[in-house]
């Protein structure tokens, strides 16, 4: 049994109250480690440590902060295989995916912001001949970073890297469902020489930690990635204290496939965008709209490709999909498959749990599932399932496709497949989503604004947007 520990003021420690939470391996369903069941006192200790560390860290030259962060990135890269295996075991994703995507991206996140901060500058505004205004951007102080279970280290580092680079000190809270790689990461930070108290990692349940972190007057900002309902709770708690809030929330992303698209590329990418990471990526395309003239051909080819995907042990290099991250989430996804049938949907492939033998007999596996015959307005097409379940719907005109795509409370990401350049720009402007991918998916440039419209979030991460979020601007107006 591995004991995951809090990392507070440079020290590893269990929860002050001494309680633990079980941590499961999704592929087997078995408990393989435990994490601290932290409470208010642990969060208070982490905030105090961060507050104490702030004056020194915030005044360290940006290049020195960046150098420490680059050392962290190098250490992580040198232990990539170990972290990929740990992520796969903790989350359920195929180890090949963690090796190819999650851990390299975590390395990139740290490298990107370690160097970005050295190139950052603030604005100056000359007012006619009479005054010069310059914008001072100073770190906020102690900030809270809260991350989800689907891309554990990838999203954890995506938040903490800009916060650290900008000179803040942190209380970070990884998901209680996938705490392992954040714990291993804290060891790297210590080894890289990050001063005690700069990054504090507190493990435990959302509300146990959030009820202190969200309302603590010392915490100046909360950067949160997770579900829309949790985001609303955090906003309700934090707003009266006027904390800065960055909320990256849920999605129900459309993929629009026009008859003039590169058929093979659209088909293979639609499969990938639907089922990568068991469909547990906020950017996965789960509502696939296909122009009617190619609908039947596309449906049959799509179903054949999906049926051929291998669901199995995440340790098996040939598995395309691994296990669902938790038993609770497994039950939620299976519940939606049931609902889809009650709503009149036809299951074209999948729709059942996978029963394995041997090591994975107790694991939480679901076959990739494709459903057709549902109206866009039904719950299956409106609520976020966040698993290996997609629906297919035909459309006749671009206007109809656009209307159905936008007909959702969410607005995170949309995909468009077409060779019509004018259509590309028309839809780019009219799709109410924070990201519109044209003839591609998950092609990420870390400098671009990342975030959602509507119920998918408030604020943007990435590039300068993230560094702006983690600083407070002061306009200094000097009369000439
Ligand atoms: P969640 O909202 O249940 O939990 C996210 C994190 O918030 C966890 O660390 C959790 O412990 C914590 N938390 C829970 N209650 C809290 C509270 N009251 N105060 C403070 N923290 C609290 O989400 P999840 O199930 O872990 O993740 C899945 C969701 O995340 C999906 O909706 C998905 O779309 C979304 N997501 C969004 C993005 C994005 O960039 N927009 C990226 C990944 C995941």
CB-based burial, 172-203: b 16+ in 10 Å, e otherwise: bbbbbbbbbbbbbbbebbbebebbbbbbbbbb
Q: How far apart are CA 100 and CA 98, in angstroms?
A: 6
The total of structural domains in the chain comes to: 2
Query: Residue 354 falls within a domain, yes or no?
Result: yes
How many angstroms separate the alpha carbon of residue 209 from the centre of ligand 1? 13
Pairing of strands 169-173, 142-146: parallel
Q: Is the CB of 252 under 6 A from ligand 1?
A: no
Are 243 and 388 members of one domain? no
Q: Are residues 150 and 183 in the same domain?
A: yes
Query: Is there an atom of ligand 1 within 6 Å of 150 CB?
Result: yes
The boundaries of the domain holding residue 290 are: 253-446
Asked whether residue 90 is assigned to any structural domain, the reply reads yes
pLDDT at 1 over 90: no
Same domain, 267 and 231: no
Query: Each residue of 364-388: pLDDT tens digit?
Result: 999 999 999 999 999 999 999 999 9
Residue 282 bears catalytic tag? yes
**Is there a domain that residue 59 lies in?**
yes
In this structure, are 295 and 432 located in the same domain? yes
Ligand 1 atom nearest residue 229's Cα? 2
Q: Find the catalytic residue in 282, 291, 360, 384.
A: 282
Q: What is the CATH number of the domain that holds 271?
A: 3.40.309.10
212-259: pLDDT as tens digits: 999 999 999 999 999 999 999 999 999 999 999 999 999 999 999 999
Q: Give tens-digit pLDDT for 316-344.
A: 999 999 999 999 999 999 999 999 999 99
Question: Does residue 120 have a pLDDT over 90?
Answer: yes
Indicate which residue of 25, 87, 176, 248 is catalytic: 248
In the predicted structure, residue 361 carries a pLDDT above the cut 90: yes
210 and 260 both lie in a single domain: no
Residues 243 and 103 in one domain: yes
CA of 172 to the centre of ligand 1 (A): 13
| 214 within domain boundaries | yes
The reply to whether 384 falls in a domain is: yes
Task: Identify the CA nearest to 363 among candidates 91, 148, 181.
Answer: 91
Confidence of residue 18 (pLDDT cuts 50, 70, 90): very high
Task: State pTM to two decimals.
Answer: 0.98
Helix 421-430 with 398-406: angle, nearest 10 deg: 30
Pair (428, 296) in one structural domain = yes
User: What is the CA(457)–ligand 1 centre distance, in A?
Assistant: 12
Model pLDDT, residue 357: 86
Average pLDDT, the chain: 98
Binned at pLDDT 50, 70 and 90, residue 117 comes out as very high
**Res 356 pLDDT > 90:** no
Do 244 and 263 lie in a common domain?
Answer: no
Strand partners, 476: 134
Nearest CA to ligand 1 atom 14: 206
CATH of the domain at 238: 3.40.605.10
State whether the beta carbon of 386 lies less than 6 angstroms from ligand 1: yes
- Distance CA(248)–CA(150), nearest Å, equals 13
Specify whether 168 is located in the same domain as 197: yes
- Please report the DSSP string for 215-253 in residue order: T-TTEEEEEEES-HHHHHHHHHHHGGGT-EEEEE----E
Same structural domain, 324 and 237:
no
In a domain, 33, yes or no: yes
**421-474 confidence digits (pLDDT tens):** 999 999 999 999 999 999 999 999 999 999 999 999 999 999 999 999 999 999
For the Cβ of 433 lying below 6 angstroms from any atom of ligand 1, the answer is: no
Q: Is 357 a catalytic residue?
A: no
Average pLDDT over residues 167-182: 98
Query: Residue 452: how many CB atoms within 10 A of its CB?
Result: 27
Statement to judge: residues 200 and 257 lie in one domain: no
Q: 147 CA to middle of ligand 1, Å?
A: 6
Q: Note whether residue 451 is domain-resident.
A: no
User: 267 and 197 share a domain?
Assistant: no
């Amino acid at each position: 049994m591995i004991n995951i520990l809090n990392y507070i003021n440079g020290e590893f420690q269990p929860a002050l109250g001494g309680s633990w939470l079980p941590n499961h391996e999704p592929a087997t369903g078995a408990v393989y480690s435990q994490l601290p069941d932290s409470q208010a006192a642990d969060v208070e200790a982490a905030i105090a440590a961060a507050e104490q560390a702030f004056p020194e860290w915030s005044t360290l030259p940006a290049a020195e902060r960046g150098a420490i962060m680059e050392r962290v990135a190098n250490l992580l890269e040198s232990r990539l295989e170990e972290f990929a295996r740990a992520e796969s075991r903790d989350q359920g994703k195929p180890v090949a995916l963690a090796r190819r995507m999650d851990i390299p991206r975590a390395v990139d996140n740290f490298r990107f912001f370690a160097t970005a901060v050295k190139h950052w500058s603030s604005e100056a505004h000359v007012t006619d001949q009479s005054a010069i205004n310059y914008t001072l951007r100073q770190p906020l102080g102690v900030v809270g970073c809260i991350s989800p279970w689907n891309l554990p280290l990838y999203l954890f580092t995506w938040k903490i890297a800009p916060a650290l680079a900008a000179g803040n000190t942190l209380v970070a809270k990884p998901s209680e469902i996938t705490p392992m790689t954040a714990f291993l990461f804290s060891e790297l930070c210590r080894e890289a020489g990050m001063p005690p108290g700069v990054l504090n990692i507190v493990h435990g349940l959302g509300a146990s930690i959030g009820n202190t972190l969200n309302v603590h007057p010392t915490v100046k900002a909360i950067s949160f990635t997770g579900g829309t309902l949790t985001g609303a709770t955090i906003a309700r708690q934090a707003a009266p204290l006027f904390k800065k809030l960055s909320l990256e929330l849920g999605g129900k992303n459309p993929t629009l496939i026009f008859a003039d698209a590169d058929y093979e590329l659209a088909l293979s990418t639609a499969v990938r965008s639907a089922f990568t990471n068991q469909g547990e990526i906020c950017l996965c395309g789960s509502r696939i709209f296909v122009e009617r003239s190619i609908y039947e051909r596309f449906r049959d080819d799509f179903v054949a490709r999906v049926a051929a995907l291998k669901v199995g042990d995440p340790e098996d290099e040939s598995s395309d999909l691994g296990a669902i991250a938790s038993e609770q989430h497994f039950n939620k996804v299976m519940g939606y498959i049931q609902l889809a049938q009650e709503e009149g949907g036809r299951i074209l492939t999948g729709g059942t749990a996978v029963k394995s033998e041997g090591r994975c007999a107790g694991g939480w596996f679901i076959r990739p599932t494709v459903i057709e015959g549902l109206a866009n307005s039904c719950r299956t097409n409106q609520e976020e399932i966040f698993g290996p379940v997609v629906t297919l719907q035909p459309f006749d005109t671009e206007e109809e496709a656009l209307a159905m795509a936008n007909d959702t409370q969410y607005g995170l990401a949309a995909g468009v497949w077409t060779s019509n350049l004018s259509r590309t720009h028309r839809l780019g402007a009219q799709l109410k989503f924070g990201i519109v991918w044209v003839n591609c998916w998950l092609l990420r440039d870390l400098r671009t604004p990342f975030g959602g419209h509507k119920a998918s979030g408030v604020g943007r991460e990435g590039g300068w947007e993230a560094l702006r979020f983690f600083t407070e601007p002061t306009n200094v107006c000097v009369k000439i």
